[in-house]
Amino acid sequence: MTTLTVKNRHNSRLRAGHLWVFRDELETIPAALRTGDAVQVQSAGGHNYGTALFHETSQIAARLLNTNEHTVSAAFFEERMKQALMLRSRLFPQENTYRLVFGESDFLPGLVIDRYHDTRSEEASDYFVLQTLSAGMDMRKDEICQALRNVFPTTKAIIEKNNSALRKHDGLDQRESVLWGEVPQEIIMSENGVLSSLLLLEGQKTGYFLDQKLNRLKIKEMASGLRVLDCFTNQGGFALHAVAGGASAALGLDSSESAIARCRINAHLNGMSDRATFETEEVLDYLHASAERFKQDGERHWDMIILDPPAFAKAKQQVPQAKRGYAKINRMALRILPRGGFLATGSCSHHVSEDILLGVIREEAERERRQLRLVFRGGQSPCHPILSGMPETSYLKFFIFEVV
């Protein structure tokens, strides 16, 4: 196996546990190496960082696997799947739907796998949706599928939803396909006791945003008797959890007609259509109209507003623009919440730090002359673990404030 040597001045980050080796950090790169090759990475002083998958042209020249194995085979992936399953089984002993593999945090850089358990099936039925965001993983999809089938005999289908723009960095095209098995028209998953209908061959990313699992549970625990507005509702997860927790009413808003159609199906599935309603609406337009209506009648219609927007900053240079976006939606929400009401707000942008988001919310509260009390600090579900040596694995911030 070829060995790549890291220049002396670049070793501290790798020693701290980072898994990416950048091209300009290497002393030399043998011309014979090809994308996807397994290589050994070491320091100039001979410290071994382990096996990595090499890429010929990407800025990330090697992605470490936290192993010294020379062969990245189906057996290697099977062992990693078992380790991932052991952790999730401990974290969620009563649930079978979660992110099974979270890339670097599970020492499988560039690989994401979500497990969806179909509760409607008479026999145990698991469906796996994967993304291979690096060439080294993309070239090993057959081994990954074999490992999944060995670890999960209940596997009915494995789907790739490789529609992420991140694949372009490794010279990969975007594609979606069924890698193995047969996919039904829909499956029914359960999260915190709330049912959702999923079309695994449609929708965004892997089908459902599992990173909000525990934040939705907190909303369920707090929502009794409240009137809840769920902005950017997607498939209605927060609104349905609120009603499951006893909310008197919940309205979910999203600009996507297809998403709202799924929300209504999910409300019916849970027997909540009388209290959980959904409308196709631009969130900012609705919040602005609500603020204008409050000016006229002085009535506040919502006790809790949930803001779960898409990523406003996908790159560091977009942070100033993202701050303006977060400021606007939080300002509008604060205008129409009553004293004693709750603002649940978050960001899924890695480049928007917790301090940045809290600073934006604090400034907007001062602007609107509202006093806030932080009552819950959440984040990404533990099935999206954060690797201490890789800050890139931390991205989701979620707060609940009481207006006092």
DSSP count for the chain of H helices, then E strands: 10, 19
Percent of the chain with pLDDT over 70: 99
Q: At what angle do helices 319-336 and 283-297 cross, to 10 degrees?
A: 30
For the segment 139-147, the average pLDDT, to the nearest whole number, is 97
Residue 195, pLDDT > 70, answer: yes
- Closest listed residue to residue 219, CA positions, set 17, 404, 14, 400: 400
Q: Which of 145, 231, 263, 348 is catalytic?
A: 348
DSSP 177-223: EEEEE---S-EEEEETTEEEEE-TTSSSTTSS-GGGHHHHHHHHHH-
Q: What is the pLDDT of residues 87-139, one digit of tens each?
A: 999 999 999 999 999 999 999 999 999 999 999 888 889 999 999 999 999 99
How far, in Å, CA of 200 to CA of 265, rounded? 15
How far, in Å, CA of 240 to CA of 174, rounded? 32
Q: Strands 155-162 and 126-132: what pairing? A: parallel
Q: What is the pLDDT of residues 236-266, one digit of tens each?
A: 999 999 999 999 999 999 999 999 999 999 9
Please provide the average confidence, as pLDDT, over all residues in the chain: 95
Q: What is the pLDDT of residues 292-338, one digit of tens each?
A: 888 888 778 899 999 999 989 888 899 999 999 999 999 999 999 99
Q: State the pLDDT confidence band at 169, using cuts at 50, 70 and 90.
A: confident
Predicted structure pTM score: 0.94
Query: In 221-350, at which residue ranges do the beta strands (DSSP E only) sit?
Result: 227-231, 249-254, 276-280, 304-307, 342-347
Q: Strands 187-191 and 194-198: what pairing? A: antiparallel
For the segment 146-156, the average pLDDT, to the nearest whole number, is 97
Active site residue 348: yes
For the segment 173-183, the average pLDDT, to the nearest whole number, is 95
Q: State the pLDDT confidence band at 203, using cuts at 50, 70 and 90.
A: low
Q: What is the pLDDT of residues 62-89, one digit of tens each?
A: 999 988 888 899 999 999 999 999 999 9
Which domains are delineated in the chain?
3-64 (2.30.130.10), 74-191 (3.30.750.80), 209-403 (3.40.50.150)
Q: What is the pLDDT of residues 43-68, one digit of tens each?
A: 999 999 999 999 999 999 999 998 88
Q: At what angle do helices 237-244 and 213-222 cross, to 10 degrees?
A: 40
